[in-house]
Amino acid sequence: MTMAARAQRRQQPAESQHSDQEQNALPGADAVRIARMERLLRLEGEIRRLPDVNAMRIFAVNELKTLLPFVQGFFVELDEGGRRGRKKARVLAATGLSVIDRQAPLIAMMEAAAGRAAAEAGLSARMGRLEAWLDGPVMEEWAFREALWLPLIPPHAPEADGPEANDTEGETPSSARAQPRAGLLLLRAEPFTEADAAIGMRLAEALGQAHALLSPRKAWLAFWRKPRVLIAVATLVALLMLVPVPMTVMAPAEVVAADPLVVAAPMDGVIREVVVDPGAQVMRGTLLAVYDDTRLKADAELAARKVAVAASRVETLRKAAFDDPRARAELAQAQAELDLALAEQARAQELLSKVELRAAQAGIAVFSDRREWVRRPVSTGEKIMEIADPHILALRIDVPVKDAIAIRPGARVRVFLDADPLHAIPARVTDAGYHAREVAGGVLAYRVMARFEPEAVAAGEREKAQTKKDAAQKALRIGFRGTAQISGETVPLGFYLFRRPIAALRQYFGF
C-alpha cells in the first residue's frame, strides 16, 4: 500500500465524523433556516397559482405573515401625479379588513407614508420609523411604528443591491424606466432586520411578476403615459377638432299627407256613426260619418209647427183687419213672428241636411280609430279626419328646443323609418316653424316640414333617379314613423361635439 493510499484511508474517518457533527447540528439554527426556505418556496408557488389580482392583494397582506413577522400590512398601488417628493398611493387591501374605507384617517396616513417611501426607495426595500415618511405626527393610538416598504419588482427590472440601494446620487436609465406600480407597507412594534428585508424583496419580486401578469392593461397605461404619446394624441385631437362637418340634428319624424283636406264638424252635436275605416279609399261624395239627428228632427218638427201657428194667426188678423183697427195693429207683429218662425224652420232644415258628412275630394281617410268617434260630442270646427292624396306625401319633424339648430328651407334631410331602418330616404326642408309648441310627451319642439325627393344626381342619371323616387314612394305610407337627420351649416368638429356643454356654460355663467 502506498503512502498516499494510507493517508486517504486515515482521512475517511475524519470526514465521516465531521458529517455526523453537521447532522447533529441541524435541529438548531440551520433547521430554522431550512424551514424558512421551505416556507419561502411554498409561498412563491402559491403566488404563481393565484387566480386574479384581487386574490393576490389579499394573499400578500395576510399570508406573508407566516414568513415575515409583521402585525399590519397594506397593499398599495402607485401612480405618478402626487405632490413633490412622493407618489400618488392608493391602499387596496389591508390585513384583516374586507372593505377599505377611503375616508378613514388610518388609510389616509398609510397612503401618505407609502407615497413618500415609494418615491425615496425606488426598486429597493426601505426600513424606518413611520413618522419619518409622514408630514405630520403619527396617530397616538397607533402602536406599530416600525415600517418596512417592499416595492413590487416589475418584470425585466434591474436588481436592487439592498434595502438602501437607491440612496446613490444617480440612477441608471433602465431603473428610471422600470418604476414599481405597487408595493407592500408592513408595520410592527419592533424594528425590522436586514434578513426581513432580504426575504421580503424575494417575495416582492414574485408578487411583482404576478401583479404584472394579472394586470396586463397596466402595460397599455404605461404606453399612453409617455409624454411623446400624449403630445401626439393631443395634437391629433386638436387637428380633428378643426375638421369642418355639417351641423346635424336627429329628431322624431312622421310621414303625413302634403296637402290634406280637413273634414271638420259643421255643427255642434254627437257623432252617431263613422262609416269608413281608417285608411280607406274614398271618392268624391262618399259618406264618411253621420250625426245623431234625434234632436235635429225634433227641432225641425217644432219649427214647422211654429210656422203653422204663426201663419194661421197672420191669416186671422188679416181678415179681421178690415173691420177691427186693433187687428190691423197686431198684424205687423204677427207677420214678424211668422218671419222668425220661417227662419227657425230654415235653420233646422239646414242643420238636418248636415247630419251626413261626405268627402269633398277623392283620397284616403286619415284618422285613428272609428270607435273613438261613436257617440262622441263634437264642437263646430273640430277636426274629425283628413282626406289625403296617398301619392303626395310630406315629412313632419319635431325638433326639440334643446337640439335646435339653424335650419333653412332646402336643407338636406335623411329619414330612417322604423319599418325600414337600414335604408335612408332623402328629403328637403320646405319650411320650419319659428315658435315652439308642445308635442307628445310634453316636449317643446319646432315643427319642420320636408318633401321627399331623390338625391342630387348628374343629368345623365335622371331616369335612374326617377326609378329611385318611385321605389321610395312605394315604400312610404301615411303614418309611418322614424328618425330624421337634418343637416345645417358647416361648423368645426369641436363645436359640433361640445355645442351643448358650451350652451350650458353660457347659461350658467352668463358670458
The 3 state secondary structure assigned to 115-178 is HHHHHHHCCCCEEEEHHHHCCCCCCCCCCCCEEEEEECCCCCCCCCCCCCHHHCCCCCHHHHHC
109 and 218 fall within a common domain: yes
366 and 455 fall within a common domain: no
Whether residue 416 is contained in a domain is answered as yes
337 and 382 fall within a common domain: no
Q: For 417-437, give the DSSP string.
A: ETTEEEEEEEEEEEEE-SS-E
List, for residues 223-235, the tens digit of each pLDDT value: 676 788 888 888 9
* Residue 356 identity: E
312 and 408 fall within a common domain: no
Mean pLDDT value across residues 373-383: 87
List, for residues 60-93, the tens digit of each pLDDT value: 889 888 888 899 999 998 876 545 446 788 898 9
Give me the residues paired with residue 393 across strands: 257
Give me the residues paired with residue 492 across strands: 244
CATH number at residue 265: 2.40.50.100
164 and 61 fall within a common domain: yes
Of the candidates 441, 438, 365, 427, which has an alpha carbon nearest to the alpha carbon of residue 396? 427
Of the candidates 355, 390, 374, 369, which has an alpha carbon nearest to the alpha carbon of residue 282? 390
319 and 394 fall within a common domain: no
CA distance 229 to 235: 10
Whether residue 147 is contained in a domain is answered as yes
Q: Which residue has the higher pLDDT, 489 or 170?
A: 489
201 and 342 fall within a common domain: no
| Domain hosting residue 378, numbered range | 260-290+356-388
Whether residue 19 is contained in a domain is answered as no
Query: For residue 157, what pLDDT is reported?
Result: 60
Radius of gyration of the chain (CA): 48
52 and 191 fall within a common domain: yes
140 and 158 fall within a common domain: yes
Q: Worst-scoring range by mean pLDDT, 171-175, 241-245, 379-383, 448-452?
A: 171-175
Query: For residue 375, what pLDDT is reported?
Result: 86
Q: Is the pLDDT of residue 358 over 60?
A: yes
Whether residue 502 is contained in a domain is answered as yes
User: Three-state SS for 1?
Assistant: coil
46 and 182 fall within a common domain: yes
Whether residue 333 is contained in a domain is answered as yes
72 and 170 fall within a common domain: yes
Phi, psi of 453 (to 5 degrees): -160, 155
List, for residues 86-133, the tens digit of each pLDDT value: 678 889 899 988 888 878 888 888 888 888 888 888 888 888 888 888
Query: For residue 20, what pLDDT is reported?
Result: 44
Whether residue 451 is contained in a domain is answered as yes
297 and 381 fall within a common domain: no
Q: What is the pTM of this model?
A: 0.47
- Domains held by the chain: number: 4
Whether residue 465 is contained in a domain is answered as yes
CA distance 44 to 410: 73
Cα end-to-end distance, the chain, whole Å: 113
Q: Is the pLDDT of residue 267 over 60?
A: yes
CATH number at residue 437: 2.40.30.170
Give the containing element (helix H, strand E) for 219. Answer: helix 217-224
Query: For residue 321, what pLDDT is reported?
Result: 72
Q: Are 358 and 215 in contact (CB under 8 A)?
A: no
Indicate the pLDDT class of residue 149, thresholds 50, 70 and 90.
very high
Give the containing element (helix H, strand E) for 361. Answer: none
Q: For 12-80, give the DSSP string.
A: HHHHHHHHHHHHHHTTTHHHHHHHHHHHHHHHHHHHHT--SHHHHHHHHHHGGGGTS--SEEEEEEEES
Whether residue 249 is contained in a domain is answered as no
User: Three-state SS for 438?
Assistant: strand
**Residue by residue, what is the 3-state secondary structure of 229-243?**
HHHHHHHHHHHHCCC
CA distance 137 to 59: 30
